[in-house]
């Protein structure tokens, strides 16, 4: 990569890093994992930087890399992670200071969803992907996507009304 392209990439990361980290945090629900996820996605983007011709497509490329990486990680550790009814205490991030109460409630409710439901809901409503696109991304049927999103939204409603 020549110096100019390298500087373009650095400028992109400096400009969009915070927004991309927020998206990664919503996918993982853990700040540390989100940072790892974003770093992995940016490494893939860096390697493909010369092939990305449309500057407006870079965010989409990074987000797709994050989703694909998260799915890969999820599949790899699927057998190692056992959900529980009790959530661990989490430190309060200074990042939440400006959020509205509703956004905070939604964020907490999303973190309480099972990972597969959370990813499906995030792809559907945060990334505005169609059910078919989500099915292709997750490697499942459209029916599975519909039922997963439906169960996730039902659970979100329950969690938000209980808060």
Same domain, 68 and 120: no
86 DSSP assignment: S
Domain housing 142: 96-163
Mean pLDDT of 46-66: 88
97 DSSP assignment: T
| Number of structural domains in the chain | 2
Cα 33–Cα 35–Cα 36 angle in degrees, nearest 5: 65
pLDDT tier at 97, thresholds 50, 70, 90? very low
Same domain, 109 and 71: no
Q: What is the pLDDT of residue 95?
A: 46
Kindly give, in sequence order, each residue whose CB lies less than 8 Å from that of residue 54, ignoring residues fewer than 6 positions away.
none
pLDDT, averaged across the chain: 83
Q: What is the pLDDT of residue 81?
A: 57
Task: Please identify, among 32, 48, 79, the residue that sits at the C-terminal boundary of a domain.
Answer: 79
Which among 67, 159, 154, 151 has a CA at the least distance from the CA of 106?
A: 159
52 DSSP assignment: -
Residue-wise pLDDT for 64-96, tens only, equals 999 989 888 877 665 555 566 776 565 555 444
Residue 4: pLDDT above 80?
Answer: yes
Mean pLDDT of 28-44: 90
Q: Which helix (H) or strand (E) holds 59?
A: helix 58-77
- Is the entire prediction scored with pTM above 0.75? no
With the CA atoms of 92, 84, 20 and 3 taken in that order, what torsion angle do they form, in degrees rounded to the nearest 10? 100
Mean pLDDT of 135-154: 92
Q: What is the pLDDT of residue 40?
A: 93
């Amino acid at each position: 990569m020549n110096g100019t392209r390298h500087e373009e990439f650095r400028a992109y990361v400096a400009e969009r890093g915070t927004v991309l980290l927020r998206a990664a945090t919503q996918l993982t629900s853990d700040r540390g994992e989100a940072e790892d996820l974003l770093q992995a996605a940016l490494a893939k983007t860096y390697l493909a930087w010369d092939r990305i011709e449309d500057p407006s497509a870079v965010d989409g490329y990074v987000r797709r890399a994050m989703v694909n990486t998260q799915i890969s990680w999820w599949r790899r550790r699927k057998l190692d992670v056992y959900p529980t009814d009790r959530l661990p205490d989490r430190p309060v991030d200074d990042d939440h200071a400006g959020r509205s109460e509703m956004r905070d409630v939604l964020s907490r409710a999303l973190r309480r969803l099972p990972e597969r439901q959370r990813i499906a809901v995030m792809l559907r409503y945060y990334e505005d992907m169609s059910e078919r696109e989500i099915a292709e991304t997750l490697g499942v049927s459209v029916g599975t996507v519909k039922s997963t999103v439906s169960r996730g939204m039902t659970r979100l409603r329950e969690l938000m009304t209980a808060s």
